[in-house]
Amino acid sequence: MAAYAMLGGMPSYLEQFNPNKSLRENALTTILPPNTYLSQEPDWLLLKDLRSDVICGSILHAVAKEERKPSDIARAIGKNSAQDITQQLSTLQELGLLIREVPVTERRKARSRNSLYYLADNYLDFWHRFVDGARSLVAQDMGEQVWDRTIEPAFDKYVSRPIFERACRDYLWRALRAGVLPADLNISEVGTWWGAGDREIDVVALDNQGEVCAAGSCKWTNSPMDIREYQALQKDLTLAGLDREDQFHFLFARSGFTTRLQEFASQQKPKRLFLITMEALYAV
């Protein structure tokens, strides 16, 4: 998952990494030295596709630095309002470099102003987040300092959101295709949700009627997920007005689940809480 957060699924990127070495060792030999394929790839992409508009590069950098709303992106690059970058945002989406997300409950609306932007390519996102601002150090062959001081302290948070959460949402589609989801769980859309009070729900699935049929929480932490996380998910669903009596719930955890939570899930009848470990995430 951490390697996926850095490189995404591009075969030519993955081929640069040695699976027998750690992420740090791979980064120090392929990303953080000057004049390597991976260190030059982001600049090549921008030169190839965006020669005529330098604003696009600034937008990508701002989004990678977690400026998600159009108005915030505009301010971050020195523009007055979101209207000043409408054309560039559209261009970047058409090129497949940016993803526009809205709460899954608003996807069926003709228009939604509640939008957030993310880089579509994991490696481009990683490079802009951690490497672009350290070009001078990379040029001086000081990649170890970039990794140890800049990347490593923030890397788990970076993997957690949005990479791990996105992978957990993808799991529902794969599980649906594999036929391992409950027969009465009818999914037509999968996404995320956010609303008033900075409340967020990591995984939200809708049925054919647009009702929330499943929801989930994702934790990329070193400690097992406890029943408190399940209770927090239920509370958020209730406050958001998205809870339903027959809803299914999924918890995704990097480090597994406490015994108390496992026992609670096993005692449910009918079973509506599913605990997805990393092994289970990759099993379908």
pLDDT at 262 over 70: yes
pLDDT at 42: 86
Kindly list the structural domains of the chain, giving each domain's residue range(s) and its CATH number in brackets, ordered by start: 2-141 (1.10.10.10), 162-281 (3.40.1350.10)
Binning pLDDT at 50, 70 and 90, where does residue 45 land? confident
pLDDT at 204: 98
CA–CA distance, 36 with 39 (Å, rounded to integer): 5
CA–CA distance, 147 with 119 (Å, rounded to integer): 21
pLDDT at 116: 94
Binning pLDDT at 50, 70 and 90, where does residue 119 land? very high
pLDDT at 29 over 60: yes
Provide long-range contacts, Cβ within 8 A and 24+ apart, for 189-193.
189/104, 189/107, 190/104, 191/101, 191/103, 191/104, 191/107, 192/101, 192/103, 192/104, 192/165, 193/103, 193/104, 193/105, 193/240, 193/242
CA–CA distance, 168 with 152 (Å, rounded to integer): 23
12-26 average pLDDT score: 96
pLDDT at 110: 64
CA–CA distance, 35 with 38 (Å, rounded to integer): 8
195-213 average pLDDT score: 91
pLDDT at 58 over 60: yes
pLDDT at 75: 96
190 touches 204 (CB < 8 A): yes
pLDDT at 178 over 90: yes
Mean pLDDT of the chain: 93
21-32 average pLDDT score: 97
pLDDT at 38: 95
98-103 average pLDDT score: 94
User: Going edge to edge, which strands form the sheet with 199-206?
Assistant: 189-195, 199-206, 212-219, 248-253, 273-276
Total Cβ atoms within 10 A of residue 189:
15
Beta strands in 185-268 (DSSP E): 189-195, 199-206, 212-219, 248-253
pLDDT at 148 over 90: yes
Bridge partners of residue 119, in order along the sequence: 98
258 touches 227 (CB < 8 A): yes
